[in-house]
Amino acid sequence: MGKRRKVTHNAQPAQRSNAGGQKPQGVTRPNPQKQKQKQKQPQPQYDKPTIPFAPEDKILLVGDGDLSFAASLVEHHYCADVTATVLEKNLEELVEKYPHVPENIAKIEAEDSKVLYGVDATKMAPFADKKGKDGTGVMDRIIFNFPHVGGKSTDVNRQVRYNQELLVEFFKHAMPSLAPGGSIIVTLFEGEPYTLWNIRDLARHTGLQVERSFKFQASAYPGYHHARTLGVVKSKSGETGGGWKGEDRAARSYIFVRKDDDARPRPGSSKKRSRARDDESSDDD
């Protein structure tokens, strides 16, 4: 009679074979197709707004409407030296067009910045240091947002011509106020009829050139609302607000500098480029 084989019992249960290819209960197999799709998903892009000025800059705002842009610069961007100008001759005339404007004026003047009335962009006197022979401009940034002659003319050609004349005269009268190395910034809506104004060529003929352009983002200026040249739009019942909102429309800002000017580095400028280049390839998209 042979010897009995000693049988030992494992403390752990034996693992079952999965040779049949069935998925073990409670185990999820990775799906290669889903993993591939997950890897292809683009990462979210953060469109950081371009701010073309610094808090310490001496800033001149031309035709600032209801002064909400100036108020935002002072209150939210901590700009310490802002001169905001409007075409209206006095406060009463301005309030008639924009009833809420006293609130913005209070914010501006509370921080030692100022508001000037009766300043025509096509005729304004230089903001300059009178000590020099011809005077030296003192403004680091001169900003004109959404220039327009106003009116309800449906003649596109006439409107284009009038607005071109406005811009040419503005450039001519703004340059004497521009400090060495300073810049002029103009913002326009995208598309026609604004592209028909050919703002780059207008500036070039007055001794300026485009350093760069960028997407204007109204959301970068809390409290800012696009003010129409005609004033606040009211409904038939006399209520304000609603309807067309300029801050929701696509717009572009253009930074102009004097030709051959040795400009100092500007806020939002990430790279150097040749002054000879003045084309769309230099823009930020």
CB neighbours of residue 50 within 10 Å: 19
Domain ranges of the chain: 58-261
For residue 120, what pLDDT is reported? 97
Q: What is the pLDDT of residues 221-272, one digit of tens each?
A: 999 998 876 565 554 455 555 444 556 789 999 999 999 775 455 555 544 4
Residues ≥6 apart with Cβ < 8 Å to 162: 149, 151
Question: Residue 61 pLDDT > 80, yes or no?
Answer: yes
For residue 146, what pLDDT is reported? 96
* Averaged confidence pLDDT in the chain: 81
Residue of higher predicted confidence among 21 and 130: 130
Q: Which of 220, 90, 39 is nearest to 145 (CA)?
A: 220
Question: Residue 163 pLDDT > 50, yes or no?
Answer: yes
Q: What is the pLDDT of residues 173-221, one digit of tens each?
A: 999 999 999 999 999 999 999 999 999 999 999 999 999 999 999 999 9
Average pLDDT over residues 20-42: 56
For residue 130, what pLDDT is reported? 78
**Distance of alpha carbon 145 from alpha carbon 188, whole angstroms:** 7
Do the beta carbons of residue 124 and residue 154 sit within 8 Å?
no
> What's the predicted TM-score (pTM) here?
0.75
For residue 228, what pLDDT is reported? 72
Q: How confident is the model at residue 47 (pLDDT cuts 50, 70, 90)?
A: confident
For residue 280, what pLDDT is reported? 43
Residue of higher predicted confidence among 142 and 275: 142
Question: Residue 66 pLDDT > 80, yes or no?
Answer: yes
How many CA atoms within 13 Å lie on the side-chain side of 70?
A: 36
Residues ≥6 apart with Cβ < 8 Å to 159: 149, 151, 153, 193
Q: What is the pLDDT of residues 85-130, one digit of tens each?
A: 999 999 999 999 999 999 999 999 999 999 999 999 999 999 998 7
For residue 144, what pLDDT is reported? 98
Q: How confident is the model at residue 60 (pLDDT cuts 50, 70, 90)?
A: very high
Does domain 58-261 bear CATH number 3.20.10.10?
Answer: no
Question: Residue 156 pLDDT > 50, yes or no?
Answer: yes
